[in-house]
Structure 1
Amino acid sequence: MKAITYSRTGDSSVLRVTERDVAEPGAGEVRVRIALSGVNPTDWKRRAGSGAGQELEFPEVVPNQDGAGVVDAIGPDVTALAVGDRVWVFMAQHQRPGGTAQEYVVLPATNVVPLPDGVGFEVGASLGVPAMTAHRALTVAEDWPARLAPGSLDGATVLVAGGAGAVGHAAIQLARWAGARVITTVSGPDKGALATAAGAHHVVNYTAGDAAAAIRDVAPDGVDIVVEVAPAQNAALDAAVANNRASIAIYANNGGDRVELDIRPNMMVNARFQFLILYTVGAEALRHASEDITAAAAAGALEVGEDAGLPLHFFDLEDTAAAHDAVQSGVTGKVLIRVGE
């Protein structure tokens, strides 16, 4: 089978097109024929490491955590999946050498989720890291449910920083599906149009005027949940708009690796800061996220494409390096790699 591999860290030039044997699934595993592989910032960052030429955890690695395809074979003890099932997969490369930038991948059955009827592979391959990160950010507040479903966030006001990004897009859609009022911040009108298409009720251009005042205009009592991508830049804004007992869920470090907090304004509203990364949230949180996300997708709440606020950019498998470069350069939208039919 055809696969993209690398054997040392570095820029995208370390990626190679190779031929590999098709592996057989073991106990508790399934083999998936990948149709589309999704690319996220975590994929190029893992490939790059902290510098070029570093030793890898495995002699040869296939990149990319997310994807969608069809179950091709099942190992012993797998009962929830069958050959021919359409599925989406997540964390394919976590603690394993084989990600989704290959024609067939063997994964634990727990990382393979049935794709609802009528939901396309382009949606399935766009879930994974973005949607699961968004789910976690929306479910860590102590005054709101730990699961998402229609009505679970009724009465909540959610602020999504960077609503035109993949995680921001998923957070807007999931929060809307769960009943929240959604405010998002963007850097300009084009991204604002995408956030509106995703379902945001209110869009604030943080480069034009007082963003905190604009948010308070539509949410005088403040916001209950913040999905934060740039804490170094937005700490003062978050403090200025936080409602009492607000939760600020931080999933990235855009804009800097260190953050300064004004203690008193955060203390006065009992603000709660929650850092998150999928790799260490635990099996139960991942299972809850995959179940809720699948329900939202089945309901048509997680659409992709420009009309849904997330433009799609397609690359062939042989052009995986260019796909990584597109994500690294900050392309707006979702990068997908065509792997199979």
Structure 2
Amino acid sequence: MKAVVYRRHGGPEVLTPVERAVSEPGPGEVRVRIVVSAVNPTDWKARSGFRAEPGAEVPETVPHQDGAGVVDATGPGVTGFSPGDRVWTILAGTHRPSSGTAQEYTVLPAEKLVRLPDAVGFDEGAGFGIPALTAHRALTVAEDGPARLASGALSGRTVLVSGGAGAVGNAAIQLGRWAGATIVATVSSEEKAALARAAGAHHVLRYPDPDLAARIREIAPDGVDLVVEVAAGVNARLDTEVLRPRGTVAVYGDDRGTGTVSLDFGTNLWANARYQFLVLYTVGEDKLRAGAEDVNAAFAEGALRIGPDHGVPVHRFALADTAKAHIASEEGVTGKVLIDVTPA
């Protein structure tokens, strides 16, 4: 079968198309024919090695956590899936180095797969894995908020989504809107403002703007209930200025930041503010599964969709062009980078 691998850390040039043997699923495992693979920043950061030495050798690794496809075979003891089932993956590449989705077939534990609802495309299944699960976690960490999402679960709440045209920002807007929240999104350009509106944001504001806090307060005089934050350091002061007492800032990124977040102690103290940092890799299997179930409910109700009409332009690549796909993601292309692996 065709696959893309890397054997050392480095730039996109380390990604190499190869032929690999198709593995048999073991006990509790499922083999999936991947139709669409998706690129997330975590994929090219892992490939580059984060803080590892450039060129450091690693076990042969197939990149990409997110993908969608069709069950091809099941191992002993698997009862929840059958050949022909349409599925999407949860953090596929964390199972073992060879289990990423940039290949025609991958073998995963059954618990890393989720059925794709009828009438939902493979693009959605692949494109909303990490972004939607991250957004779900961000929307469910408030002390007095819901632990699960459903239609109306956030009714009466105001959510500020930082970076509303990004992948997680888009998923937070779509899921938050479905759950009944009033969504305020911030973006950096008119092009991105149009995408945030297409996703369903009720209010879209531009930054940089010295009066941004005042504009948010005009929409939410008592403060916002929850902030979904992609730029923790840069927006620390803004978040403090617009958060209601006992509100929550759900932090998943530090875009344009330094890696250090400075908070005003007194203001946050008297506001009883809560800061919840989050990353999917250590959040726990129970939270991942709950998020996947709720994302599937949003899928089934037509509340979570990919494409420019929903604020998510799609950029498609062939499997052999995975390096080009990584370059597009690293250069910050707006929208979702998808790789067509096998025919649907």
TM range (shorter): over 0.9
Pick one of 276, 286, 297 that aligns with 2:278: 276
Please tell me the root mean square deviation across aligned C-alpha atoms, in Å.
0.8
Alignment deviations for residues 238-291 of structure 1 (CA, whole Å, 9 cap, x no partner): 000001111111111211211111111111111100111100000100010000
The structural deviation recorded for 1:77 is 1.5
Give the aligned partner of residue 64 of structure 2.
64
Give the aligned partner of residue 107 of structure 1.
108
- Write the letter of the residue equivalent to 2:104: E
Contact 2:251 2:277 in 1 (8 A): yes
Give the aligned partner of residue 93 of structure 1.
93
Give the aligned partner of residue 262 of structure 1.
264
The structural deviation recorded for 1:208 is 3.8
Give the aligned partner of residue 4 of structure 1.
4
Contact 2:95 2:108 in 1 (8 A): no
The structural deviation recorded for 1:90 is 1.9
CA distance in 2, matches of 1:127, 1:87: 13
**What secondary structure sits across from 1:7 in the alignment?**
strand
CA distance in 1, matches of 2:328, 2:336: 10
Alignment deviations for residues 154-179 of structure 1 (CA, whole Å, 9 cap, x no partner): 11110100000000000000111111
- Write the letter of the residue equivalent to 1:38: A
Contact 2:198 2:310 in 1 (8 A): yes
**Kindly, what percent of the aligned residue pairs are identical?**
61
Contact 1:188 1:207 in 2 (8 A): no
The structural deviation recorded for 1:207 is 2.1
Alignment deviations for residues 301-323 of structure 1 (CA, whole Å, 9 cap, x no partner): 11111111000000000000000
Give the aligned partner of residue 37 of structure 1.
37
Gaps in structure 1 of 5+ consecutive residues? none
Give the aligned partner of residue 338 of structure 1.
340
**What secondary structure sits across from 2:268 in the alignment?**
helix
CA distance in 2, matches of 1:252, 1:25: 36
The structural deviation recorded for 1:325 is 0.7
Higher mean C-alpha deviation, range 251-260 or range 293-302: 251-260
CA distance in 2, matches of 1:287, 1:313: 28
Alignment deviations for residues 63-114 of structure 1 (CA, whole Å, 9 cap, x no partner): 0000111000011121111110011112011141120000000011111111
Alignment deviations for residues 176-234 of structure 1 (CA, whole Å, 9 cap, x no partner): 11111110100011100000000000001012441111111111111111110001100
- Write the letter of the residue equivalent to 1:255: R
**What secondary structure sits across from 2:216 in the alignment?**
helix
CA distance in 2, matches of 1:264, 1:82: 56
- Write the letter of the residue equivalent to 1:33: R
Give the aligned partner of residue 18 of structure 2.
18
**What secondary structure sits across from 2:245 in the alignment?**
strand
- Write the letter of the residue equivalent to 2:36: L
- Write the letter of the residue equivalent to 1:152: A
- The TM-score normalised by the length of structure 1 is 0.98
Count matched residues: 339
Give the aligned partner of residue 246 of structure 1.
247
Give the aligned partner of residue 312 of structure 1.
314
**What secondary structure sits across from 1:232 in the alignment?**
coil
CA distance in 1, matches of 2:308, 2:148: 28
- Write the letter of the residue equivalent to 1:129: I
CA distance in 1, matches of 2:157, 2:81: 36
**What secondary structure sits across from 1:230 in the alignment?**
coil
Contact 1:99 1:105 in 2 (8 A): yes
1:75 paired to 2:75: yes
Contact 1:136 1:289 in 2 (8 A): yes
